[in-house]
Amino acid sequence: MNHIATARVKRAQLALGVALLLGSIVMIRANARIVHAGYSPASTFSSYSYEAGCSTVVDTITIVFTNGSGSYDDAYQHGQYSDHGEFDTHEAQGDQYFQDDYGCSTNDDGAATASGWSNDRWHFRDEVAATTAYGQSYAATPHYDEWEWDIWPFTGHHCVDTYGFTNGRAYVYDHFTSASDGHSGNQSNYWGNTMAIAKCHGEYAYTNGYVWYIDLP
């Protein structure tokens, strides 16, 4: 009888353990859907921008503008105002690429805070992607660019430092969510895009993997 009772207890414990494990898996899956809120980079969009061919990573996506109009320049139309960060230089399309369900293509739009050559600036490129949860959305790569002159030839280039992506995310989010037209935001969406990306002078730029959402209307 003791052996039978022991066996029953073990079977009951095993059944309880399996039930808890399955429950945990269900919760993990449910939470994953909630976190991305209909905009999962795994199924809809990659987590970075790339060079041509979408194999070499360039910048990290840290902002998603949600519930937009669908116009390619929607994020710029908001960002150009002073209380939104004064992204007054419009850059339609550009030299980076984004990977989505439709393949690898150049970014749809972009904007910067300083016009002209040889300026430090806040800058982002973005790509439009339709979503079921928030209508038209825009994945963006805001960052801080420092201008550096080359010794020869006498030209120059922009560089992103170690905290350029982190600071860029904060700059855009803080300006939009405190602007007069009242954009709401959410900072709890973890994408896990923490790759350290080689930039100038052997520095690596990276973030903590959180993508902050900003509602455009």
pTM equals 0.78
**Could you list the pLDDT tens digit for every one of the 217 residues in the chain?**
444 444 444 444 444 343 333 333 222 222 222 223 344 444 467 889 999 999 999 999 999 998 888 788 999 999 999 999 999 999 877 789 998 777 888 999 999 998 777 889 999 999 887 665 556 788 899 999 998 887 777 677 789 999 999 999 999 999 999 999 989 999 988 889 999 999 988 899 999 999 999 998 7
User: In terms of Cα–Cα distance, which of 183, 176, 172, 170 is closest to 215?
Assistant: 183
Mode of pairing for the β-strands spanning 204-205 and 97-100: unpaired
Identify each DSSP E strand in the chain by its residue range: 48-50, 57-60, 63-68, 89-90, 97-100, 103-106, 109-112, 121-130, 136-140, 143-149, 156-160, 185-190, 197-198, 204-205, 210-215
CB 62 within 8 Å of CB 208? no
Residues 21-72 pLDDT 10s: 333 322 222 222 222 334 444 446 788 999 999 999 999 999 999 888 878 8
CB 83 within 8 Å of CB 178? yes
Q: Which two tokens stand for residue 77?
A: 């139309």
CA distance 123 to 165: 10
Q: What is the pLDDT of residue 68?
A: 83
- Beta bridge partners of residue 48, listed in sequence order: 60
Mode of pairing for the β-strands spanning 156-160 and 143-149: antiparallel
Q: What is the pLDDT of residue 14?
A: 45
CB 171 within 8 Å of CB 144? yes
User: In terms of Cα–Cα distance, which of 97, 90, 96 is closest to 45?
Assistant: 97
167 Ramachandran zone, left/alpha/beta (phi>0; psi -120 to 50): alpha
How long is the chain? 217
Q: Which two tokens stand for residue 193?
A: 């895009």
User: In terms of Cα–Cα distance, which of 202, 191, 199 is closest to 61?
Assistant: 191
